[in-house]
Structure 1
Amino acid sequence: MGFELSVVTVIFFISAVLLGTLSYTALSTSSEIVSDASDEQSEMQYLKLQTDIEIDDSIVYSSGSDYNITVMLSNTGSESIRFDRLNVLIDGELGSYSYTDTSYTWTPSESRNLTVTGLYGLGTHRVKVVTENGVSAYDTYLV
């Protein structure tokens, strides 16, 4: 019985060591994932705080039953923005836009124009431009 008790004790000891090792590895990996996510969140918040845009003017070009709108924007923040990654919403609906600038990078203090075509409806409308990190600017216009 003494030998059997020794074998069972050794098995329990080895099991405890293995379980502890696996637990430490899992907790260590989880801790690294949380730390990386926290760093990424801090970077995103920093970029969002440094980004700002303004709509200087919205010009409507009417042609028959539809119209086009050209939105003049200024990058008033201190971060460069990817101009091709903007989202433009007209009355809450995502619209596609075109622009004539060849550079995708929109540097601070620079003004750019974008045009949304094929819009319909009379009256007052709202345009919203959103950057890739969530900073937005609004304007209303009349057709």
Structure 2
Amino acid sequence: MGFEISVVAVMFFITALVVGSFSYSMLNTSNDIVNDASEEQYQMQNSKLKTNIEVESAVPGNYSGTYNLTVTLSNTGSETVLFDELNVLVDGNLESYVYSDVAATWTPAETRNMTVTDLSGTGSHRVKVVTRNGVSAYSSYVV
């Protein structure tokens, strides 16, 4: 009977070692994932703090049922922005835009123009430009 108790004790010990090693590796992996996510969150917050844009002007073209809107923007922050990844909303509707600059990178202290085509409606309108990291600028214009 003493031998059987010894065998059972050794089996419990081996099982505890296996479970412990699996638990350690899982905890270590999840800790690495949390650390990576925290670092990424810090980088996103830092980028957002350094990003700032301003709408200098929003000028509608001649109205003939539809019109084109030319928006002049300044990068007043210290972060380089990708100009082709901006979102433009006119009166709350997401609109596509074109720009004439060759480079898609928009460096600090640089002014760029974009054109939103085929807009309709008269009266007062609002344009909002949003960067990839959520920083936005607004302006109003009248057609």
Name the TM-score, length of structure 2 as normaliser: 0.98
Shift of 1:67: 1.0
After superposition, give the CA deviation of every residue in 1:43-71 in whole Å (9 maximum; x if it has no partner): 11111000100000000003411111000
Q: Secondary structure at the match of 1:62?
A: coil
Cα distance in structure 2, aligned partners of 1:41 and 1:25:
24
Q: Which runs of 5+ in 1 are unaligned?
A: none
- Count residues with an aligned counterpart: 143
Alignment of 1:64-79 (within 5 A): 64-79=64-79
Cα distance in structure 1, aligned partners of 2:56 and 2:44:
26
Q: Which runs of 5+ in 2 are unaligned?
A: none
Instruction: Give the corresponding residue for 1:47.
Output: 47
After superposition, give the CA deviation of every residue in 1:23-60 in whole Å (9 maximum; x if it has no partner): 11111100010000000000111110001000000000
Code of the aligned partner of 1:86: L
Name the TM-score, length of structure 1 as normaliser: 0.98
After superposition, give the CA deviation of every residue in 1:60-115 in whole Å (9 maximum; x if it has no partner): 00341111100000000011110011000111111000000001110110000000
Where in structure 1 do 4 or more consecutive aligned residues deviate above 6 Å? none
1:113 aligns with 2:121: no
Q: Say what the alpha-carbon RMSD is for the aligned residues.
A: 0.7
- Identity among equivalent positions (%) equals 59
Instruction: Give the corresponding residue for 2:140.
Output: 140
